[in-house]
Each structure stands twice: as structure tokens, then as C-alpha cells.
Amino acid sequence: MSRSAKVFTAATLCVALAGTGMVLAQQRPAAPAAGAVAAAAHVAAPQRTGLGREAHAAEVAAWAIAIRPDGQGLPPGSGSVKKGEDIYQTQCAACHGEFGEGAGRWPVLAGGRGSLKGENPEKTLGSFWPYLSTTFDYVRRAMPYGNAQSLSNDEVYALTAYIMYLNDLVPESFELTRENFTSVPMPNVGGFYDDDRETTERAFWNPNPCMTDCRPTVPQVTGRARVIDVTPEGRSGPRVE
């Protein structure tokens, strides 16, 4: 194609695009969507496209069910240990065991206190989970397994209370409510700290990693996967040609 023909084609295309109302996105002025609030509330003045729509309050209420440790997001309601036990035995015990001990490989819900430094750490609400809100949030959004979000808020309060009871955190007479939710601290709340690898593992940044004679002795095999023998594969030996 000759240069003049290319210019002609490009010009024709521009006219055609303009004729159909197409505007290059980069050239569009940063017009805020109608009704946008004062720019002071923004981190930076955003460039808005007007795509999407505003959410209905009931839509947000239906999906925004995350609970924070400070209780933000908790719905109104309450539930007792006793009521929780009834629900637990019919809805939860088949997998988690009658006393939260876990059936088969399903998660253990109770016990494990003092196990975190040992051979088999058991991570329960009583031994590990830092916040009660996580139990309420998770049971409400994901349990019972295979029938998620089928429990009422009162039932989730009751089950949470019962799991607290199984972990010796409250007496049998306890009733959990939105109002008293943050009054019982979890035993391991102080057991967590933010990622510090870039300071405590600083030695792994090494400008001169060893290239030759890096070990004083010839390495010896100290452990073998085949001895453990848990790999789900056939293992016919290869033939070397």
C-alpha cells in the first residue's frame, strides 16, 4: 500500500469512528459520575467511566457479612450453649465429633491447649484462634459443609457459644449475644505477630553465595520418601540404556 493510500485509509477510519460516536478512552475528560461526593473524601481524584451501577442497600446487606474482631458486622441476636449443643449434635457432630474431637480427618474444634510447641499442634478456638469473631463469621458463611448460609443468626450465636463451651472458655449457662460478644478474650490472642521475614531472615539475602567446596564433608542421605511410601503413584523402576 502506498503512503498516500495509508493516509487516506486512516482518515476515512477516523471519520467513520467519529460518525459512530466512538471516543478514545484516553481522550475522555475525567468527568465524575453524577452525584459523586466531594473530592476531599477521595485518596486521589479518580477518573470514572460511569460503568456499573450503585448497589441497593439490601444487596449490600445480603453479601456484606464479614465480622471483625471488634464486633463490626455482627447482626442482632443471641444463642445459648444449651441451644448450641442441640444444633451441633444434628448439624456438626458427624464431621467434628460429639465433643469437637473431629471424626477422621475433619477439623478438631476443641482441646489442643499447650500443643503449639509440640509434635502435633492442635489449632482450635481454645488453643490457637486469636479472635472469636472468626468462628462466628466462618460458621455463618461456610457451615454446615455442603449447606452453607442455612443457619439463622441466632443459631450461629448458639453454635459459637457451644464451641466456646467445648473449649472451656465459658460455663454451660452462658448465652452469647451481640452485646457481650467481645467480652471473652481468646487465650492465644497474643500469639501472633506480623510478618518479619525481611528482618529476622535477613541472612537469606546473601550477595556472595558459596559456589565451590561449600560443605566440609560429602553429604549423606538422611531421609528417603520411598521409606515413608505415601506417594499415590505406581513405581516401576526405570531401565537405563
Partner 1 sequence: MTETGMSRETARLNRRGFLGAAGLAGAGLATAATGVRAAPPATPDPLITDVQDWARVLGDGVQARPYGSPSQFEKHVVRRDVEWLTASRESSVNFTPLHELDGIITPSGLCFERHHGGIAEIDPSKHRLMINGLVDKPMVFTVEDLKRFPGRQNHAYFLECAANSGMEWRGAQLNGCQFTHGMVHNVWYTGIPLKTLLDEAGIRTNAKWLLAEGADSSGMTRSIPLDKGLKDCLVVWSMNGEALRPEQGYPVRLVVPGWEGNMWVKWLRRIEVGDQPWHQREETSKYTDLLADGRSRRFTFIMDAKSVVTNPSPQAPLKHKGPNVLTGLAWSGRGKIGRVDVSIDGGRNWRTARIDGPVLPMSLTRFYVDFDWNGQELMIQSRAIDETGYVQPTKDELRKVRGVNSIYHNNGIQTWLVRANGETENVEIG
Question: Between residue 142 and residue 181, which ones bind partner 1 under the rule CB under 8 A?
Answer: 142, 145-146, 148-149
Q: Does 35 bind partner 1 (CB under 8 A)?
A: yes
Q: Which stretch binds partner 1 (CB under 8 A): 14-22, 133-141, 151-159, 169-177?
A: 133-141
119 within 8 A of 110, measured Cβ to Cβ? no
User: Do 128 and 52 contact (CB within 8 A), yes or no?
Assistant: no
Asked whether 155 and 86 are in contact (CB, 8 A), the reply is no
Distances (CA, A) of 67 to 27, 30, 153, 216, 234: 42, 36, 12, 55, 47
Q: What's the burial of 184, exposed, middle or buried (CB within 10 Å: 0-12/13-18/19+)?
A: middle
58 binds partner 1 (CB under 8 A): no
Range 93-132, binding partner 1 (CB under 8 A):
95, 104-107, 116-117, 121, 123, 128-131
Q: Which is nearer to partner 1, 3 or 53 (CB)?
A: 53
34 contributes a contact to partner 1 by CB under 8 A = no
Which one of 12, 47, 89, 183 is in contact with partner 1 (CB under 8 A)?
47
d(CA 7, CA 213): 67
Q: Which stretch binds partner 1 (CB under 8 A): 4-12, 35-43, 74-82, 154-162?
A: 35-43
Q: How far apart are alpha carbons 139 and 152 in whole angstroms?
A: 11
Pair 97, 88: CB distance under 8 Å: no
- The stretches of 79-152 forming alpha helices (DSSP H) are 81-91, 93-96, 132-142
How near is the Cβ of 75 to partner 1 at its closest, in Å?
A: 15
Binding segment for partner 1 (CB under 8 A), chosen from 3-11, 153-161, 169-177, 201-209, is 201-209
Region near partner 1 per CB under 8 A, out of 13-21, 76-84, 138-146, 176-184: 138-146
Shortest distance (Å) from residue 101 CB to partner 1: 14
Q: Phi first, then psi: what are they for 78, rounded to 5°?
A: -165, 165
How many positions of this chain bind partner 1 (CB under 8 A)?
Answer: 93
Q: Which is nearer to partner 1, 171 or 238 (CB)?
A: 238
Nearer to partner 1, 5 or 34 (CB): 34
Q: How far is the CB of 150 from partner 1 (least distance, A)?
A: 11
Distance separating alpha carbons of residues 144 and 18, to the nearest angstrom: 56
